[in-house]
A = this chain, B = another copy of it.
Amino acid sequence: MGRELDRRVPERALSRIRLTYRLDDGREREIAVPPGVTVFDAASWNGIAVDSTCGGHGTCRKCGVRIAAGAAPPTSLDGRAYSPDRLRDGWRLACRAVAQEDLTVEVPPLTTRPKASTVGVGRQVILRPAVQKRYVELVEPTLKDQRSDLERLLDAIDDLEPAAGLAVLRRLGPVLREADWKVTAVIVDETLIDVEPGDTTGTAYGIAFDLGTTTVVATLLDLTAGTPVAAASRLNAQQPFGADVITRISATMMDASAASRLRDLAHETLADLAAEVCAEGGVAPGHVYEIALAGNATMTQLALGLDPEPLGVAPFIPSARAIPSLHAADLGVRVHPEARAAMFPALGAYVGGDIVAGLLASGMDRDRRVRLFIDVGTNCEIVLGSAAGLTATAAPAGPAFEGAAIRCGMRAAEGAVETVRLTPDTVELGVIGDTEPRGLCGSGLVDAVAELLRTGLLDASGRLATPDEAPAALAPRLTEVNGERVFVLRGDVYLSQRDVRELQFAKAAIATGWSLLLDETGTDVADVAQVLLAGSFGSYLSPANAVRIGLVPPLALPRIVSAGNVAGEGAKLALLSLRERTGADALLQEVRYVELSDRPDFNDLFITRLAFP
């Protein structure tokens, strides 16, 4: 330790407090949260249901709990909701009660049973989307009751107090009168965005986007049921400007018009996907009231038309960590004209909203076990979580995992070798699309190296065997191309000595990252309960081979979990639960980012990590 902590991180971020919820069935649930969260949010984040219809805005007054031990000062809202006796007895609105110390909280029996969905890494989420609809039948105005149209509508909605903008006011008067005063109010978070004639409460959709540098994925969700309706993915149309974030940032620095073209291409990709999932799901785009988006800092800034240059040059500065109050239209997505957009905040230039979404989806912030989250890619983000909080860093792994800088490397597309298995006399290949192999993608590269290691055709230093060191059946595959030693997989597809070196550099960067994070937090590697491999590449990686090449710590295999597309799952979570979304903002306060590359022992450790275990 001994290094100065990031000045921005409040001391409290490093410790947690303990909340004990006593449920009405007699069970107790103990959870650890950072100080400063509300009793309601802490419960929501841990799947503990507390009554509420407003979703935690302090307007429905249904989330009463009793603080049985510990103190939470009453707020002015409590003063209006409870008598002095009840206040003294510990009754509080859970959504206003800020936990600053250990508390025991009695939760009354639920009056309604909330719907729940399973999202992310086995996360049970209580369905409380920001999008809410309320059907009301209004009393017609008379000379004795001259309330304005807006007051009449809002008075009839007893649990929410939304604000109304000009667009909805323009529709309000005509719709109320045409619909004979029977309308459905459409509310997103704290804003009334529309009034629809009749009862449309059964119809509410959202689209979750994972805006990747390479691939963009959209999932259309039915927000009334919490279920996916349609999904689609396509390549990010920004591809012609470069394969990775740095080349796209460079493009904007060399050509003044590139930034706006990149923005338009991002919008086009998102808009096309939105149209596609709506068509596939048979949903009118006008019934999509909110979108959520997770992307890395560069993709996010480009899509919003924010100059990305400061992200790409030292000291790597984002425009903002959180971007509030966006409309879907700001991202070029043509759904309901007043639809809102929730965008995941970034921790920094290299730990973006995609990582924050992934942490949320994998519950990294609400688990007391020691867990290691590794998003494998050109820039590899690593987060260590424990009861003490979250510590993050980024490791520059380079493009090996994307198939770049590898002689026969390619993307994980048709013809790419994605699995490799060696027997004493043959090589078994898994090829995407079951065709003849055209090249080697990241997971195939890792597999090939791991298998060569296992069979002794590669030594711990990374040297490929000579033909005479190999079993007779495999020896002919150890040949030379342009004077370089290679191992032929099939036909023209081979792994070269230099490819092995590239992989060694990449995995050493990652291994140095998590080693130093463990060191930085005083954690023993044996205490790591779980390693989550995230990102599209991470999902395809064989845990056994990841251990074999030393990419991840040497743990029992069941502890190494392919988490899948956790960024996309995080975006879904944000649509399904407003409280989960606020959890993403809380995460920003709780994660400590450490820059490892300027540590004096970084280089020494990196060099020792180049060798295979």
With an 8 A cutoff between CB atoms, is A174 at the interface? yes
With an 8 A cutoff between CB atoms, is A529 at the interface? no
Stretch at the interface among A27-35, A311-319, A371-379, A553-561: A311-319
> For residue A346, which residue of chain B has the nearest CB?
B148
Partner of A149 from B143, B172, B317 at Cβ < 8 Å: B317
CB distance B305 to A147 under 8 Å?
no
Per the 8 Å Cβ criterion, residues 444-480 of A in contact with B are none
Partner of A323 from B79, B166, B177 at Cβ < 8 Å: B166
What chain B residues lie within 8 Å of A141 (beta carbons)?
Answer: 315, 317
A85 to chain B, nearest CB (A): 16
Interface residues of A (CB under 8 A from B): 4, 7-8, 73-76, 79, 98, 141-151, 163-166, 169-170, 172-174, 177, 304-307, 309-310, 314-321, 323-326, 330, 346, 348-349, 593, 595, 598
- In the docked arrangement, what's the CA distance between A311 and B150, Å? 14
CB distance A146 to B307 under 8 Å?
no
> For residue A72, which residue of chain B has the nearest CB?
B76
- In the docked arrangement, what's the CA distance between A141 and B349, Å? 13
A-B contact pairs, 25 of them (CB 8 A): A4-B144, A7-B145, A73-B76, A75-B76, A143-B314, A143-B316, A143-B598, A146-B317, A148-B317, A148-B318, A148-B319, A149-B318, A149-B319, A150-B320, A151-B320, A165-B324, A166-B305, A169-B306, A169-B319, A169-B320, A170-B304, A170-B305, A173-B307, A173-B310, A174-B307
CB distance A348 to B146 under 8 Å?
yes
Q: Which 5 A-B pairs have the closest CB atoms?
A: A150-B320, A148-B318, A143-B315, A173-B307, A141-B317
- In the docked arrangement, what's the CA distance between A476 and B49, Å? 92
Known contacts A148-B318, A320-B150, A324-B163; decide if A169 and B8 are in contact (CB<8 Å). no
Partner of A315 from B142, B166, B326, B595 at Cβ < 8 Å: B142
A450 to chain B, nearest CB (A): 35
A516 to chain B, nearest CB (A): 16
- In the docked arrangement, what's the CA distance between A565 and B7, Å? 55
Known contacts A169-B306, A174-B307; decide if A319 and B146 are in contact (CB<8 Å). no
CB distance A169 to B317 under 8 Å?
no
Known contacts A75-B75, A317-B149; decide if A166 and B598 are in contact (CB<8 Å). no
- In the docked arrangement, what's the CA distance between A529 and B89, Å? 51
Copies in the complex: 2
What chain B residues lie within 8 Å of A163 (beta carbons)?
Answer: 324-325
- In the docked arrangement, what's the CA distance between A306 and B173, Å? 8
Known contacts A76-B98, A146-B316, A307-B173; decide if A166 and B349 are in contact (CB<8 Å). no
CB distance A306 to B170 under 8 Å?
yes
A413 to chain B, nearest CB (A): 35
Known contacts A306-B170, A307-B174; decide if A324 and B146 are in contact (CB<8 Å). no
What chain B residues lie within 8 Å of A174 (beta carbons)?
Answer: 307
CB distance B149 to A310 under 8 Å?
yes
CB distance A326 to B166 under 8 Å?
yes
Known contacts A76-B98, A319-B150; decide if A324 and B164 are in contact (CB<8 Å). yes
A110 to chain B, nearest CB (A): 27
What chain B residues lie within 8 Å of A325 (beta carbons)?
Answer: 163, 165
Question: Knowing that A8-B147, A143-B315, A146-B317 are A-B contacts, what are 14 other residue pairs whose CB atoms are under 8 Å apart, sorted by A's residue number?
Answer: A7-B145, A73-B79, A147-B317, A148-B348, A149-B310, A163-B324, A165-B324, A166-B304, A166-B326, A170-B304, A170-B307, A173-B309, A173-B319, A177-B310
Interface centre among A73, A163, A304, A309 (most CB of B within 10 A): A73
What chain B residues lie within 8 Å of A76 (beta carbons)?
Answer: 73, 75, 98
What chain B residues lie within 8 Å of A323 (beta carbons)?
Answer: 166, 169
A549 to chain B, nearest CB (A): 30
Interface centre among A4, A309, A314, A317 (most CB of B within 10 A): A317
- In the docked arrangement, what's the CA distance between A310 and B330, Å? 34
- In the docked arrangement, what's the CA distance between A304 and B307, Å? 34
What chain B residues lie within 8 Å of A8 (beta carbons)?
Answer: 147, 151
- In the docked arrangement, what's the CA distance between A177 and B305, Å? 17
What chain B residues lie within 8 Å of A317 (beta carbons)?
Answer: 141, 146-149, 173
What chain B residues lie within 8 Å of A75 (beta carbons)?
Answer: 75-76
A332 to chain B, nearest CB (A): 13
What chain B residues lie within 8 Å of A326 (beta carbons)?
Answer: 166
What chain B residues lie within 8 Å of A172 (beta carbons)?
Answer: 319-320
A599 to chain B, nearest CB (A): 12
- In the docked arrangement, what's the CA distance between A598 and B142, Å? 13
A572 to chain B, nearest CB (A): 24
- In the docked arrangement, what's the CA distance between A306 and B317, Å? 44
- In the docked arrangement, what's the CA distance between A326 and B346, Å? 29
A460 to chain B, nearest CB (A): 34
A397 to chain B, nearest CB (A): 19
- In the docked arrangement, what's the CA distance between A598 and B144, Å? 10
Partner of A320 from B98, B164, B310, B318 at Cβ < 8 Å: B164
> For residue A595, which residue of chain B has the nearest CB?
B143
CB distance A320 to B148 under 8 Å?
yes
CB distance A151 to B321 under 8 Å?
yes
A234 to chain B, nearest CB (A): 25
A178 to chain B, nearest CB (A): 11
What chain B residues lie within 8 Å of A310 (beta carbons)?
Answer: 149, 173, 177
